[in-house]
Amino acid sequence: MNEDMDIKDKAAWDAADRVADYEHGWSSDIETDFAPKGLTEDTVRFISAKKNEPEWMLEWRLKAFASWKTMTPPDWAKLNVQPIDYQDAYYYAEPKAKPKLGSLDEVDPEILRIYEKLGIPIAEQEVLAGVEGARRVAVDAVFDSVSVATTFRAELERAGVIFRSISEAIKEYPELVKKWLGKIVPMHDNYFATLNCAVFSDGTFVYIPEGVRCPMELSTYFRINAENTGQFERTLIIADKDSYVSYLEGCTAPMRDENQLHAAVVELVALDDAEIKYSTVQNWYPGDAEGKGGIYNFVTKRALCQGKNSKVSWTQVETGSAVTWKYPSCVLNGENSVGEFYSVAVTNNYQQADTGTKMIHNGKGSRSTIVSKGISAGHSNNTYRGLVRVAPNAEGVRNFTQCDSLLLGSLSGAHTVPYIEVRNPSAQIEHEATTSKISDDQMFYAMARGLNAEEAVTLIVNGFAKEVLQQLPMEFAVEAQKLLGISLEGSVG
């Protein structure tokens, strides 16, 4: 008994020591231009003006802001969140040496250095100088509120692919943006989505024209650097008929004692025979071992599988954030459309995650697959929440859901909350769920072969999450495997 307590104490101390080295936990001295603190109509106007937005965009934002003021935050998730003081934050932070978009030479070298430190290849020449045949990834790097570089633009343009910061797209492709912005996630969808509509700062816009297979992977790296700053990015990806794109999203933030808010909206639309593969590795600062600080991650991600045979596949590895509230979903309108959700969510110390998906089957013969792997350690709580809905006239729908939870230690919680609403009797819905612990036998077996306790846990956890990890593009998979290990440090004892 006593020894048990000692071990736990030790684990807590070890964890405290280690949190000091959250890998991306440094902040950088970039001179930053802030919007005045607080959130009023003026803040919204300030952001819109900063971005030289057209009038329609400002009106849209103001409408959202007016609604937001009348809304209340959702309280149905299994999360314990301190009330957020929306007036005590900055809603816009821009690196002062303002980079000209699209030209890497003019990006503040300090910012480039930060991205280098993060291991993100935004310098095209470096990528180009790489090994022959190595996969190239075009990157949009968002630093606080501003997109600082979009690489490989010319090459993508030759293929007809539009890869822009959303701010640019609003000005350059207003018709495309107007057609889809807020159509997948409506302005009034939820508290955080509405807030995002009002104050979104930047983000990524992608359009893949009919019949085009995007010649490289597209990716965005988000980093919150400035203190007391919320990040509200907005992503819109449109895959026209018979097109394909694979998109990667990665995130980091420095360590701060205060909680920082991140409320993103991601909208995807796939037309006939189009496919979008969307992968996320979310590694925002999770807070320290006592639960102090960390990112509040309230994200709305939704895909519209509008066309026949369209397909959207969400893969997420969620290891960061103090609180994660996130349900990447698919609205399967198209006949024989396909939605997939592959998720690994790790919580340690006092992290809380309430995450899952919604598969809304409106189209005949639409199919969905959900594979969720939750790993809880320390005092954390990890909830899978998922909805599978089949509309009355959607014949021949199929869903398979697999929800596995792995518990480390005895103080963490794993919860599974599946909602199934079937209004068509032809639907085939399968749901499997398991909860397990890493066994002493497994730990000892791995250690007897030479792995230390943390390496053993990392190996076993990676095995547990394998079905999901193997969905990730190669570069991401390696990074994700390492992350699982890092985020579970201090959890063995």
Partner 1 sequence: MLQITNLHANVGDKPILKGLTLSLNAGEIHAIMGPNGAGKSTLGYVLSGRPGYEVTEGEITFNGQDLLGLEPHERAAAGLFLGFQYPVEIPGVSNVQFLREALNAQRKNRGEAPLSGAEFLKVAREQAGALGMDMDMLKRPVNVGFSGGEKKRNEMVQMGIINPAIAILDETDSGLDIDALRIVGDGINRIMRKPDKAVLLITHYQRLLDYVKPDFVHVLDGGRITRSGGPELALELERDGYKELAA
The C-alpha angle with vertex 352 and arms to 349 and 146, in degrees rounded to 5, equals 105
Question: Which of 75, 440 has the CB closer to partner 1?
Answer: 440
Question: Which of 269, 438 has the CB closer to partner 1?
Answer: 438
The minimum distance between CB 450 and partner 1, in angstroms, equals: 4
The minimum distance between CB 469 and partner 1, in angstroms, equals: 9
Question: Which of 70, 410 has the CB closer to partner 1?
Answer: 410
Reference 249, options 300, 204, 214, 196; nearest CA is 204
The minimum distance between CB 154 and partner 1, in angstroms, equals: 36
CA dihedral defined by 183, 186, 187, 189, rounded to 10 degrees?
Answer: -170
Region for 443 from its dihedrals, namely left if φ exceeds 0, alpha if ψ lies in -120 to 50, beta otherwise: alpha
Question: Sign (positive/negative) of CA torsion 125, 126, 129, 134?
Answer: negative
Question: Which of 251, 371 has the CB closer to partner 1?
Answer: 371
How many Cα atoms sit within 13 Å of 450 on the Cβ side?
0
Residues that bind partner 1 (CB under 8 A): 439-442, 444-453, 455, 459-460, 462-467
Give the Cα separation of 370 and 358 in Å (integer).
9
Q: Report whether 212 contacts 160 (CB < 8 A).
A: yes
Question: Which of 3, 55 has the CB closer to partner 1?
Answer: 3
Question: Which of 429, 492 has the CB closer to partner 1?
Answer: 492
The minimum distance between CB 127 and partner 1, in angstroms, equals: 24
The minimum distance between CB 440 and partner 1, in angstroms, equals: 7
Name the phi and psi angles at 428, rounded to 5: -110, 115
Give the Cα separation of 365 and 337 in Å (integer).
7
Indicate the DSSP class of residue 39.
Answer: -
CA dihedral defined by 329, 234, 333, 393, rounded to 10 degrees?
Answer: 60
The minimum distance between CB 446 and partner 1, in angstroms, equals: 7
The minimum distance between CB 465 and partner 1, in angstroms, equals: 7
Reference 340, options 308, 314, 310, 303; nearest CA is 314
Question: Which of 206, 459 has the CB closer to partner 1?
Answer: 459
Question: Which of 301, 373 has the CB closer to partner 1?
Answer: 373
- The per-type count for the chain, helices as H runs and strands as E runs, is 13, 23
The minimum distance between CB 464 and partner 1, in angstroms, equals: 6
